[in-house]
Amino acid sequence: MSFAEIKKFLQKMQTDESLKNKVISSATADDVALIAQELGFSFSGDDLLRFNGQKVDKVTVRKVQHPGEYH
């Protein structure tokens, strides 16, 4: 698990409006991780979910609970 990679990615996202829009429109943490991997960052959707509640500058990672989702 690489929280350092997630932090770097979130910092880049704050300076790149196109990237920010891709992330916001992503449906799952795995989708966000794939976007990050395309840019050379290395973390999984599970890593991102474990980062839930953490804040990097102006971004706070939050897991969205969808109706009907089982845990």
pLDDT at position 53? 84
Residue 26 lies in a domain: yes
Burial label, 12 (beta-carbon count in 10 A; 0-12, 13-18, 19+): middle
DSSP 8-class letter at 27: S
pLDDT at position 54? 87
Residue 61 lies in a domain: no
Please write the tens of the pLDDT for every residue from 18-70: 999 999 999 899 999 999 999 999 999 999 999 988 888 888 888 877 666 55
Residue 39 lies in a domain: yes
**Residue 6 confidence (pLDDT) above 90:** yes
pLDDT at position 67? 62
Q: What residue numbers bound the domain in which 17 lies?
A: 3-52
- Which residue spans within the chain are E strands per DSSP? 55-56, 59-60
Given the structure tokens 């939050």, which residue do they identify?
62
Residue 11 lies in a domain: yes
Residue 63 lies in a domain: no
**Residue 71 confidence (pLDDT) above 80:** no
